[in-house]
């Protein structure tokens, strides 16, 4: 159980945060690109706003935890 939670946290942090930042950068570039249709740009903005909120939530929910690996 604890292991699953750890894996989840790990996923959220390493995978998701990095992916969020990457996708945000792509969205920025696409919105700026005139080739992107206006409808699409607006949809991208909405998506981007969601990503920013998710990333901020991940940052805000980060908490300190210390575990010791025993010397057997």
Partner 1 sequence: MTWYQQGISDEQSGHTTDVLTVSQVSSLIQTLLDDQRLLDIWIRGEITNFKVHGSGHCYFSLGEKSGNNSAVLSCVMWRKEALRVKCDLHDGMEILVFGSIGHYAPQGRYQLYVRDIQPAGRGEKHLMVEEWKRQLTAEGCFDPARKRPLPAFPAKVGVVTSETGAVLQDIRNVISRRFPLELVVSPTAVQGEGAHKEIALALRRVEREVDVIILARGGGSFEDLFPFNHPDVVREISLCPVPVVSAIGHEVDVTLADFAADVRAPTPSAAAELVVPDRVSLFDSLAGARKMMGSRLLTRLERAGEDLFSLRERFSPRRVGQKLTAKKEDVSVLSERMFRAVSSRILLERERLSAAVEILAARNPAHLLQKGYCILQKDGRVIRSACEIDPGDCLTLRLKDGRADTQVERVYHDPEI
Site membership for partner 1, residue 17 (CB under 8 A): yes
Which of 52, 30, 50, 49 has the alpha carbon at shortest distance from 41? Answer: 30
Site membership for partner 1, residue 4 (CB under 8 A): no
Q: How far is the CB of 1 from partner 1 (least distance, A)?
A: 16
SS3 35: coil
The tokens of 3 are what?
């292991």
- Rounded Cα gap, residues 12 and 49, in angstroms: 18
Residues forming the site for partner 1 (CB under 8 A): 6, 9-10, 12-14, 17-18, 24-25, 27-28, 31-32, 34, 38, 41-42, 45, 48-49, 52, 55-56, 59, 62-69, 71
């Amino acid at each position: 159980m604890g292991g699953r939670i750890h894996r989840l946290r790990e996923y959220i942090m390493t995978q998701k945060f990095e992916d969020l930042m990457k996708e945000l950068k792509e969205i920025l570039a696409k919105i700026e690109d005139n080739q992107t249709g206006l409808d699409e740009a607006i949809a991208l903005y909405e998506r981007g706003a969601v990503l920013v909120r998710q990333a901020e939530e991940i940052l805000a929910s980060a908490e300190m935890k210390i575990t010791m690996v025993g010397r057997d």
